[in-house]
Structure 1
């Protein structure tokens, strides 16, 4: 029997990996593939996979870890970038589909509690669904991206609060004033106690851990697991669901327990444990509970729920977004981006099914709703953002600006002097002589170790839009870029890779969404010497037609000792020449020879 359970677990994990990989390759979140393959290989169709008590236990731990990880990924400071607009989008995108979902179930003679569960599931939005799409569409530095992220966070938090109330009500089993007061009192006590622990006790714990030099990453991970499970049990004792506790634990762990460096390392392990192992078990096994009979028995309800979810989310967001003053077209665009559902929706629906609040048919409808709405996001968001771009209404977010360059060598100083004509540029270097030379040439430079957070703080990295790693050592460049990405969330990363760098180093660029400087591997040393000795020529090449930077290098770099360093647009603004960029007609390439 034990062998069968292990084989079943192995098959579920392999299925999750295959489904997630296929979904990711076509631009969708992995959970979509995990759900679909669970439906395909589960009882609904082929019946190859089956559930068990062991799988159910692992799946339950998986959703706790996933909710904790979602909490760890949320940075409340980012809400300030689009708080008012994000709040409007969140309210409209949640309330309208919530109402439509609720009354649709009531119209089909469903209970009030089941209608509320469906309403929550229809109202939520998915943060993970949009992140990859925003990167692909190069929207991370637009106002739309910040509003979408803020809207998703507020929407999901609102859903979890209402969910907590419903769980407490179901637990009390009564509608009298005393029963409801008891439910509300326990919930308030939980949130208050959790906040006290997170705000006052966690920092003390963090200081104690930082002083214990011998403590390793495994111990830190164990502390994190204990905190998550402890908060989950507190939520259960308060009559709420454990996912509320796990979510709260993630929020407080992010800023209260570990230093930035330790948090980054331990979060990576937690990510692998939750998203790489436990959470996929939940989503695959969730597919086991889906019934395809709804297409015969409840087709009208399925269609109405999907229509209510799509129309309610898009139209509701656009209507409530009008007071922001950013226009109804931007509201529609944000609505299309918020239309995808994901982890939180499926988790809430799964808990409703487990508690007997919703039926298998309703659960199946919610799963198909999540799948169909998620499929619309890349198509509709691409179309609406292109529509805004053509009208000149795609607004860039000015919360971050300027360049942070690691390497005050002659090449770094040359590029900095070019970029600072229209941007704030700061150089950092561990060589004091190079820093003094840069300052003498009119470039702001800071002396410090480029692999330490203190140096980045001095350079005000948290407000920089682009980080360029421009030393002659690829390993240092990659490590510094990881610091810029993980600790300071700098959106644009450009890395100089030397010719001797192997494929392993290049493979690290994609996870950080980083690009290679000069669109090719480059040995910096000879160019730094040529600039310092003034033995180079600066030339400008006009670009007649649209092309990528890589194509330009292939066309113009053959048999020529040249280095393309900058791209200049028609207004004279310059930007670094790197791999993940394209050159428009009438733009110019500045290169060294």
Structure 2
């Protein structure tokens, strides 16, 4: 296991730097490292690491979402208003609609199987988007119109919305019926997650005011509570909807509202933690990629992924109607809403594990979506933001 950890960090950082030298996102090198080390290539990773891969990737995601919350100003988000809310579900709905139209024709799927595939593909990747939006906020690009903040918030809720739909459709495919309670759980999960995050953030802010606590201890406290909030989501599953990841982000945003200077210092510490967590996340995502599946799926799977992105982009433009964003800013927002990685890696294999007939093709297209959109989206964001957004 120690050897596996050493290989993940040493090779992940090395390949990341090599790709960066050629003007490409480091995550490409990290994904490649995972593919090479993973069970489908040279199989150099210990099975213990692979067995806890989902938990390790979730920890990395929590770190970047805490950092996002600590940088998120609610007043900036309020300035955006309606478009921020629409970005939470409209683009995802359009992408699912695209899969419903394309899946039966190109892959011979039933409408239900196409709906399952749509919910797997429709989620954007916070792991790709969040660090880039934070970079834009630090550099002042698009912040006057709160564009990075809108994308940050929308991407987080987008994932909750899609995962609940995925659970509903896979339950239906196993012989169940559409449970209205599950659909009602979508707004409940979002609202309850935000409320619990705010309450915890208020409590932590009071604690930091009354007692002198070193920033390092504050980081440990916040991270431990964030882990508990995400665990709470699994405990409440089947009882009431609750989004642990949204609670984590709301926690950080509440601290930012009440203790700006503390939030700024803590954000720097979480930024340093992300340097290691990023390597772990993307190398382990890469290790899930079955190259044979990707090759065998070929052109049809790529057409499905690219076709669904067109529908997503239409959804983004509809969400941005009657806003003060100009055409360049709308183009950038659409680009920023394309990368996929973490959710697809987390749920792409579930239909196959359930024994669904469409399981293999769902996993294959999920893998293709990661391989195509994660690097493409990251490159386009990195290369276009200074041309399409105004620096404040």
TM-score by length of 2: 0.76
- CA distance in 2 between partners of 1:189 and 1:17 (Å): 40
What's the CA shift string for 1:480-503, capped at 9, x where partnerless? Answer: xxxxxxxxxxxxxxxxxxxxxxxx
TM-score by length of 1: 0.53
1:367 match: secondary structure: helix
Q: Which residue of 2 aligns with 1:37?
A: 33
Q: Which residue of 2 aligns with 1:373?
A: 376
- CA distance in 1 between partners of 2:255 and 2:309 (Å): 38
1:120 to 106, 119, 122: 122
- CA distance in 1 between partners of 2:241 and 2:261 (Å): 28
Higher alpha-carbon Rg: 1
1:97 match: secondary structure: helix
- CA distance in 1 between partners of 2:228 and 2:338 (Å): 31
- CA distance in 2 between partners of 1:26 and 1:131 (Å): 22
More helix by share: 2
Q: Which residue of 2 aligns with 1:283?
A: 282
Offset at 1:226?
2.3
- CA distance in 2 between partners of 1:313 and 1:87 (Å): 16
1:17 corresponds to 2:13: yes
Q: Which residue of 1 aligns with 2:158?
A: 158
8 Å CA contact retained: 1:41, 1:48: yes
Q: Which residue of 2 aligns with 1:487?
A: none
Do the aligned partners of residues 141 and 202 (structure 1) sit closer, same or farther apart at CA in structure 2, a change above 3 Å counting? closer
Do the aligned partners of residues 62 and 377 (structure 1) sit closer, same or farther apart at CA in structure 2, a change above 3 Å counting? same
What's the CA shift string for 1:505-532, capped at 9, x where partnerless? Answer: xxxxxxxxxxxxxxxxxxxxxxxxxxxx
Q: How does 1:336-485 map to 2 (within 5 A)?
A: 337-338=335-336, 340-341=338-339, 345-356=340-351, 358-359=359-360, 360-371=363-374, 373-374=376-377, 377=380, 381=384, 385=388
Do the aligned partners of residues 284 and 353 (structure 1) sit closer, same or farther apart at CA in structure 2, a change above 3 Å counting? same
- CA distance in 1 between partners of 2:93 and 2:128 (Å): 16
Do the aligned partners of residues 371 and 44 (structure 1) sit closer, same or farther apart at CA in structure 2, a change above 3 Å counting? farther
What's the CA shift string for 1:539-579, capped at 9, x where partnerless? Answer: xxxxxxxxxxxxxxxxxxxxxxxxxxxxxxxxxxxxxxxxx
Larger RCO: 1 or 2 (CA < 8 Å, sep 6+):
2
Offset at 1:349?
0.9
CA RMSD of aligned residues (A): 4.1
- CA distance in 2 between partners of 1:238 and 1:38 (Å): 33
More strand by share: 1
Offset at 1:299?
1.4
Offset at 1:304?
1.1
- CA distance in 2 between partners of 1:51 and 1:309 (Å): 36
2:62 to 61, 67, 83: 67
- CA distance in 1 between partners of 2:344 and 2:117 (Å): 12
1:323 match: secondary structure: coil
What's the CA shift string for 1:314-341, capped at 9, x where partnerless? Answer: 45434554533756x4366235532541
1:79 to 77, 80, 95: 77
- CA distance in 1 between partners of 2:64 and 2:152 (Å): 15
Q: Which residue of 1 aligns with 2:247?
A: 248
Offset at 1:38?
1.5
8 Å CA contact retained: 1:89, 1:320: yes
Offset at 1:220?
1.9
1:298 match: secondary structure: helix
- CA distance in 2 between partners of 1:188 and 1:378 (Å): 30
8 Å CA contact retained: 1:42, 1:49: yes
- CA distance in 2 between partners of 1:147 and 1:168 (Å): 32
Q: Which runs of 5+ in 2 are unaligned?
A: 353-358
Offset at 1:7?
0.7
Offset at 1:310?
4.2
Q: Which runs of 5+ in 1 are unaligned?
A: 386-393, 398-464, 466-593
Offset at 1:122?
6.4
8 Å CA contact retained: 1:42, 1:50: yes
What is the aligned length? 374
Offset at 1:139?
7.3
Do the aligned partners of residues 248 and 168 (structure 1) sit closer, same or farther apart at CA in structure 2, a change above 3 Å counting? farther
Q: Which residue of 1 aligns with 2:356?
A: none
Offset at 1:102?
4.1
- CA distance in 2 between partners of 1:112 and 1:127 (Å): 26
What's the CA shift string for 1:340-393, capped at 9, x where partnerless? Answer: 41xxx32211221353455442332121222353266159837974xxxxxxxx
Offset at 1:100?
1.6
